Every structure is written in structure tokens, then in C-alpha cells.
Amino acid sequence: MDLTDGALGAQDNELIDELLDIRQSIDNIDAALVHLLAERFKFTQRVGRLKAAGGLPASDPERERVQIQRLRSLAEESHLDPAFAEKFLGFIVAEVIHHHEQIASNTAAITTTPDA
């Protein structure tokens, strides 16, 4: 069914209006998620620079373990599948670690490059 079809009845129009309203809300939430992720990654980049400067490893398994447990608990409280929340956090953490490794690599390259 084409949502713009002009041959719809009043009940169909109400259904489509509600569907479009819900989709707009979903789009708004998606935009907020993207903005929140961008903010989160700004902070994790700062963490990566601090770790690199201090010679700390990119990964912190104990922190990751605690965060996974915390997120699973939050998911349960919010009626979200905890396994999904863990997968989602796992994806984000993997990307953060990758960024931290890149930062550490770039920092090491800068500090070991002889002056011209």
C-alpha cells in the first residue's frame, strides 16, 4: 500500500497519520542516538589520548566487564533485551579500543620521529 495513495478511506488515513507520527518519533530518537554517540566518542577520544600519554593499554578488561554488567542491568530495568544491550556495547567498545590503538600508534610515531 502506497502511503500517498489518494484512494484511502478515513480510517486508512488515520492509520497512516499515526504511522507517520510514530516514524517521525523514531527518526527523532535515531538523530538523538547519533548525537549522543558523537558526544560519547569525543570523550573516549580524550581517554585514548590520556592512555597514550601515560603508556596505558588501549583496552581495560575490568572496566569493560563492569560496564557490560551495568548496561545489562539498565537494559533489564528498561525492558530491553540485555543480550542486545551487551552486543550494542560490545560493538561500541570494540570501536573505542580501535580508536585508542590508533591514537597510541600515532602518539608513538610522533614521539619517536627524529627532529629535522
Domains of the chain, residue spans? 10-112
CATH tag for 10-112 (out of 3.50.50.60, 1.20.59.10, 3.30.750.24, 3.30.1130.10): 1.20.59.10
Distance CA 104, CA 85 (A): 28
Q: pLDDT at position 113, please? A: 58
Please name which of 63, 73, 67 lies closest in space to residue 89, comparing C-alpha atoms.
Answer: 67
Is the pLDDT at 114 greater than 80? The verdict is: no
90 grid coordinates: 560490545
Tens of pLDDT, residue by residue over 50-89, are 999 999 999 999 999 999 999 999 999 999 999 999 999 9
**DSSP helix/strand/coil, 78:** coil
* Predicted TM-score of the model (pTM): 0.76
Tens of pLDDT, residue by residue over 92-105, are 999 999 999 999 99
Over range 10-32, report the average pLDDT. 96
